[in-house]
């Protein structure tokens, strides 16, 4: 049986899949881009489709840098069990194998940088800080 939080996440995964498989992803992306103000930097979390990357790479006034944050399934399971509604490894793996997650490998291949997230949160923060400084330097050139 799924916990309440897991049901919400499951519903979001299903909704995301319905948007993508129903041909509405492009319109959703264009709505997002239309709300972005020129000259402001944005961080966008949760890209799942190459179309997301294409839209953000070609329809904004600033360069777009995709950062792919990666942790093994075992590490991710240890971090989410109990707090995100996943009570069993099977529930977690089922969510991890949902079709909405199917294009992540393609995004990883096109990422500006792949950031490991296997250790402490502080280590990820340091890596992110360094990467943001690097990207800011590229943008200012």
Residue 56 in domain = no
Q: 100 with 20: CB under 8 angstroms?
A: yes
Q: What is the DSSP letter of 34?
A: H
Q: Is 14 left (phi over 0), alpha (psi -120 to 50) or beta?
A: alpha
Grade residue 18 by pLDDT with cuts at 50, 70 and 90. Answer: confident
Q: Which of 31-35, 53-57, 107-111 has the highest mean pLDDT?
A: 107-111
- For residue 5, what pLDDT is reported? 52
Which pTM was predicted? 0.80
Residue 95 in domain = yes
Structural domain of residue 107, as residue ranges?
1-9+61-141
Residue 35 in domain = no
Q: 25 with 19: CB under 8 angstroms?
A: yes
Residue 25 in domain = no
- For residue 125, what pLDDT is reported? 96
Residue 82 in domain = yes
Q: What is the rounded average pLDDT of the residues 91-118?
A: 91
Grade residue 135 by pLDDT with cuts at 50, 70 and 90. Answer: very high
> Residue 110's closest CA among 67, 73, 59, 60?
67
Give the C-alpha distances (Å, rounded to integers) separating 20 from 24, 64, 85, 102, 108. Answer: 6, 22, 25, 12, 19
> What is the number of domains present in the chain?
1
Phi, psi of 67, deg, nearest 5: -105, 130
Q: What is the rounded average pLDDT of the residues 50-62?
A: 84
Residue 126 in domain = yes
């Amino acid at each position: 049986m799924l916990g309440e939080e897991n049901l919400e996440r499951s519903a979001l995964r299903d909704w995301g899949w319905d948007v993508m498989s129903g041909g509405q992803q492009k319109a959703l992306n264009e709505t997002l881009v239309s709300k972005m103000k020129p000259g402001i930097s944005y961080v966008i979390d949760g890209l799942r489709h190459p179309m997301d990357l294409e839209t953000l790479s070609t329809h904004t006034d600033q360069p777009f840098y995709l950062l792919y944050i990666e942790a093994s399934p075992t590490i991710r399971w240890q971090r989410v069990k109990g707090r995100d509604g996943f009570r069993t490894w099977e529930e977690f793996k089922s969510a991890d194998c949902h079709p909405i997650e199917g294009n992540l490998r393609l995004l990883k291949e096109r990422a500006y940088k792949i950031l490991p997230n296997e250790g402490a949160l502080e280590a990820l923060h340091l890596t992110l800080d360094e990467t943001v400084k690097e990207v800011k330097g590229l943008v200012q050139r």
